[in-house]
Structure 1
Amino acid sequence: MKVLHINAGLEKGGGLFHIVNLLTEAKLEKRDFELLTLAEGPVSSAAVSKGIKTTVLKTKSRYDLTSLKKLIDYINDNNFDIVHTHGPRANLYLSLIHKKIKAKWVITVHSDPTKDFEGRGLVGFIFTQLNVHALRKADGILAITKNFANLLTQKLKLNPEKIHVIYNGIFFHTGAQIPAKYEHPYFNIINVARCEKIKGQDLLIKALKDLHDSHIRLHIAGDGSELENLKQLASDLNVANQVTFHGFVSHDELGSLYQKMDLAVLTSYSESFPLVLLEAADNLIPLLSTDVGDIKKMIPSPDYGFVSPIGDLEMIKEQILKASLMSASELREMAKKEKKYLEHNFSVREQLATVLDAYGEIENAK
């Protein structure tokens, strides 16, 4: 089975690692997978660094549709069996050419398609409609969580027979590969996410204000349209000295940050199956998340981490306080238990096996 994965190429977050990790595992298993990005960027750079066969289409602009003929020829001339798109822009391109290619077309839904362009007015509405149109046309859809699968069938009325649930995975590391933790004077919380309203970082800043505990420090690793607003909120609430905004950080830089963190937190209003929490767990950091996606498959009970209702500031405060009052040994044992569980259930190898099963079903579907 010959498979081409397509992405716009500008992704910097979980989508990048989903694609590159999956293709890296496919390479290790000698699967005939390759990558095409519409433009040079972080995705192609990361893939090339892993030795993944990568082609860049070199589109002239974000929506340069003059490249469609080149894309059709590349797919048909190389006799791909499956073309697998990631992200609205790649989905749009394939929606325009899918009748002219021989391969079956598969889309991975990494996030809630009804919220991807939230807050962007008329342009956001148009992009949302184009992306939903693409989902309707694809031969198969891989949903990162059961919740997303339900949303696609119930809200968007997509054919449930086309939808397959998969879960993200990562390459877990052995104890010797995990850098030792730094001694530090504070209880450090890290939030790794784009600074957008949907990520709910304002809840963390408000929680700091209400907890009145200068020992608790928040680190936000990510950039985005809400970054300046979040900085202003921290200043307005007089907790700016407790919040460090790191902006976008590389994977290596993030590894260094993890060496002095005590709790990894996501306060999102919507997520799929967040890789950032898997990676924090791999680094033996306890997890706190709002009840997004299928998070309870990742944190199955209070013995493994902390879960708060979405948008519930009081519960988020309560969970942070509870974690901050636990001893270092208690937190370490929680993190070890969580990592052992995740290693067994959410490795990239398991993810690829599930994707291959889905491909087989999609190829054989009438």
Structure 2
Amino acid sequence: MKVLHVNAGLENGGGLSHIVNLLTEAQQEGKDFDLLTLAEGPVAEAARKHGINTHVLGASSRYDLASLRKLIKFINNGHYDIVHTHGARANLFLSLIHKKIKATWCITVHSDPYLDFEGRGVLGSIFTKLNIHALRKADCVFAVTERFARLLIDKAQVDKNKVHVIYNGIFFHSDSEIPAKYEHTYFNIINVARTEKVKGQELLLKAVKKLDDQHIRLHIAGDGSQLEPLKALTRQLNMAPQVTFHGFMTHHQLSGLYKRIDLAVLTSYSESFPLVLLEATDNLIPILSTDVGDIHKMIPGPEYGFIAKTGDIDSIAKEINLAVNKSSKELRTMANTEKRYAEEHFSVKNQLAAIEEVYQSLK
């Protein structure tokens, strides 16, 4: 079976990791999977570094519809059985040509399609409608959480027979491959996420402020439209000594920072199945998340991690406080328990096998 994965190419977070991890596993298993990005960018660059067979369509802009003919030719001449798109722009392009290609078309929904273009005015509303329309047209839709699957079926009105839940996975390292932790003075919390409203970093800042514990230090790794407003909020809350904004960090840079981190936190208003928490788990760091996506699948009980109410500063503060007041031994035990569980359930190998099972059913 010959499969082509298509992405706009400008992803620089969880979407990039999802695509590159999946295609790396496929390559290791000898699968005939290729990647096409609409434009040169981080996805193609990362894929090449992993030895993935990568092509770039060369679309001149986000609105370069003239490249559609080139896309049709690439797919049909490549004799692909499956074309699998990731992201609204790739979905839109395929929706415009799907009747002119011979391949079966699948989509992975990585995030809430009703929130992807939130805050972008009329243009955002148009893109949302186009993306929802594309989801309805596809032959198969993978949702990365049960909640997204229900949203697609109940709200977006995608045919329920087309929707399949496939959980994200990562490559887990053996414990001996994880860098040893540094001794450090403070209780260090890390938040790895784009600095956008949907990620809820303002909730995290206010929760840490509420605890009024100078022993806590917060590290925010990510950039986006809210970076400067978050820095301003930090100053307004008189928290500057407690908070470090690192901007975007590579996996290599994060691995260095993880050596002195005690807790990884996501306080998002909406998430799918956050790979950054799995990556923290792989690094034997306890995790805390708001009750988003299918987080209860990742953190099935209090011995595995912490879950706070979404959008609730008091609840976030309470869960952070629980972590702060656990002993180092208790936190290590929790991190180990979560990692053993995650390794068994959320590997890339499991993810690929589940996707391929659906591919086979579409023949």
How would you bin the TM-score normalised by the shorter chain?
over 0.9
Q: 1:78 corresponds to which letter in structure 2?
A: G
Q: Quick one: distance in 2 between partners of 1:160 and 1:113?
A: 17
Name the count of aligned residue pairs.
Answer: 363
Q: How far has the Cα of 1:358 moved from its partner?
A: 1.2
CA distance in 2 between partners of 1:314 and 1:208 (Å): 10
- Deviation digits for residues 146-180 of structure 1, max 9, x if unmatched? 11000001111111000000000000000111011
Q: Cα deviation per residue 1:271-327 (whole Å; 9 max; x = unaligned)? A: 110000000000000000001110000000000000011111111001101101111
- Mapped contact 1:264–1:286 kept (Cα < 8 A): yes
User: In structure 1, what is the equivalent of residue 69 of structure 2?
Assistant: 69
User: 8 Å contact 2:278–2:342 — kept in the other structure?
Assistant: yes
Q: Aligned equivalents of 2:130 and 2:250: distance in 1?
A: 31
User: Does the 8 A contact of 1:182 with 1:260 survive in 2?
Assistant: yes
Contact 2:136 2:157 in 1 (8 A): no
- Cα distance in 2 for partners of 1:135, 1:71 equals 19
Distance between the aligned counterparts of 1:362 and 1:319, measured in 2?
44
Q: Which residue does the alignment assign to 2:130?
A: 130
Q: Superposition pairs for residues 236-251 of structure 1, below 5 Å?
A: 236-251=236-251
State the distance in 2 between where 1:116 and 1:362 align: 28
Q: Which residue of 1 aligns with 2:257?
A: 257
Q: Is the 8 A contact 1:162 1:362 kept in 2?
A: no
Correspondence for 1:167:
167
Q: Which sections of structure 2, spanning at least 5 residues, go unmatched?
A: none
Query: Residue in 1 aligned with 2:39?
Result: 39
SS of 2:249's equivalent in the other structure is: coil
SS of residue in 2 equivalent to 1:247: coil
2:279 equivalent to 1:279? yes
- The answer to whether the Cα contact below 8 Å between 1:23 and 1:33 also exists between their aligned partners in 2 is yes
> Whole-Å Cα distance in 1 between the matches of residues 240 and 325 of structure 2?
23
Work out the CA distance in 2 between the residues paired with 1:7 and 1:323.
38
Structure 1 counterpart of 2:202: 202
TM-score w.r.t. the length of structure 1 is 0.98
Aligned to 1:53: 53
Deviations 1:82-114 (A, max 9, x none): 000000010011011000000000000000000
Partner SS, residue 188 of structure 1:
strand
1:302 aligns with 2:302: yes
The correspondence of residues 48-197 of structure 1 with structure 2, limited to 5 A, is 48-197=48-197
Q: Is the 8 A contact 2:264 2:277 kept in 1?
A: yes
d(CA) in 2 for partners of 1:325 and 1:224? 32
Letter in 2 for 1:263: L
Report if aligned partners of 1:183, 1:260 keep a CA contact under 8 Å in 2: yes
Residues 191-235 of structure 1: per-residue CA shift (max 9 Å, x gap): 000011111000111012111111101111100111111000010
Provide the aligned C-alpha RMSD in A.
0.6
Equivalence for 2:25: 25
Q: Could you list the per-position Cα deviations for residues 18-69 of structure 1 after superposition, in whole angstroms to 9, with x for gaps in the alignment?
A: 0000000000110000100011111001100111000011111122111111
**Counterpart secondary structure, 2:362:** helix
CA contact (8 A) 1:196 1:225 kept: yes
- Match for 2:333: what amino acid? E
Question: What SS does the corresponding residue of 1:288 show, helix, strand or coil?
Answer: strand
SS of the counterpart of 1:179? coil
Equivalent-residue separation in structure 1 for 2:298 and 2:133 (angstroms): 31
Distance 2:91 2:116 in 1: 13
Extract structure 1 runs of 4+ deviating beyond 6 A: none
Structure 1 stretches lacking a partner, 5+ long = none
Structure 2 partner of 1:350: 350
SS in 2 for 1:172: coil
Distance in 1 (alpha carbons) for counterparts of 2:254 and 2:128:
32
Q: Secondary structure at the match of 1:51?
A: coil
> For 2:188 and 2:34, how far apart are their aligned partners in 1?
40
- Cα distance in 1 for residues equivalent to 2:174 and 2:328: 21
Give CA-to-partner distance per residue, 1:107-165, whole Å, 9 cap, x none.
00000000000111111101101111110110100000111000001111111000000
Give how far 1:362 is off. Answer: 2.6
